[in-house]
Amino acid sequence: MNREIKVSVINLCYNHEKYIRKTLEGFVKQKTNFCFEVLAHDDASTDGTANIIREFAEKYPDIIIPILQTDNQHSKKVHIRNTLLYPIMRGKYIAVCEGDDYWEDEYKLQKQVDMLEKYSDCVICTHDVQKVTEGGEVIVGDLIPATGNSYSEGMLEQDRFMREILQNGYPFHTSSFMYRKSLLDRYMDEKPEFYKLFPIGDFALLCYAATCGGCYYIHEVMSSYRTNAVGSWTTRIKTDMQKLSERYKKGIMALESLDQFTEYKYHEDICNVIIRDEITIYIIDRTYRKMLKYIGHNSLKHRRVKYLLLAIVDYILPDIFVKKK
């Protein structure tokens, strides 16, 4: 087998002791006709995550590359993937899986590489992801993308790819990503303004990918996303409503920047996303009456009736939802 590395896997971990063993097992059981590496980055976990990574690195030295921090880089505002891992990636392609998610299919990497090799105008390849509970039990019928989506297996051309991203929020899960390193090279070289603004880095990269080419979607479940995992970013942010509100506000600024970057090609779709996010901010901040300006908009129509009632009450009795200092 040629020792040239074809795929670099990004594995970001922090206090994932409960989950990381299954994640690493999903990597080392991959069956491929090429070599790949796993950049297992632990951000100074306070549990036993780093020890498990060391254990696998000793057992699979040709696959697992341990990068173990003694000081937490996230707290220093360091972009771990782009600053620390990008310079040492050796693969032609990049796959992603965080320390609380895991891969199901032993041929995941092989299948995705095959598609990227076959379709030169495809910059990223994704697939179905099943949701599991924090304890690993499958949530039956709950897939990403959501079941009943409007596309089947195959190529999503560039414009459709972008509109799927905008209209469906975040249609593909990070654990399904495989993209060309050349895409990341361009992204890092160009560093568009929205790259700095989007609260979720992978969403910014996904949007950028859609400005560069298409996406090949494989209609198979090949990985699992662990919902409400202990220590996950999503779980932490949902418990802090102020930070959640700030995240959406920053996201709106990023969308406005994306609109400019794409020369307003997707202006209507982006405006709809901004309105949807503004409504979410009003709900988080309990300024419900502000939602009434979008009374005829689809984003408000799709909200539950209770929010419309809250908006009306807040309009009639403007002091009822005032937050206590």
CATH 3.90.550.10 residue spans of the chain: 5-230
The whole-angstrom separation of Cα 147 and Cα 202 is 22
Q: Is the dihedral of CA 143, 149, 152, 154 positive or negative?
A: negative
pLDDT of residue 232: 53
Per-residue pLDDT of the chain (325 residues; tens, 9 = 90+): 447 999 999 999 999 999 999 999 999 999 999 999 999 999 999 999 999 999 999 999 999 999 999 999 999 988 899 899 999 999 999 999 999 999 999 999 999 999 999 999 999 999 999 999 988 898 877 788 875 565 688 999 999 999 999 988 778 999 999 999 999 999 999 989 988 888 677 889 999 999 999 999 999 999 999 987 665 545 554 457 788 889 899 999 999 999 999 999 999 999 999 998 998 898 888 888 887 888 777 776 666 677 777 776 776 777 777 654 3
β-pairing, 5-13 vs 35-42, is parallel
d(CA 244, CA 202): 17
pLDDT of residue 1: 46
One-letter identity of residue 25: E
Domain 5-230: CATH superfamily, name plus number? Spore Coat Polysaccharide Biosynthesis Protein SpsA; Chain A (3.90.550.10)
The model scores a pTM over 0.85: yes
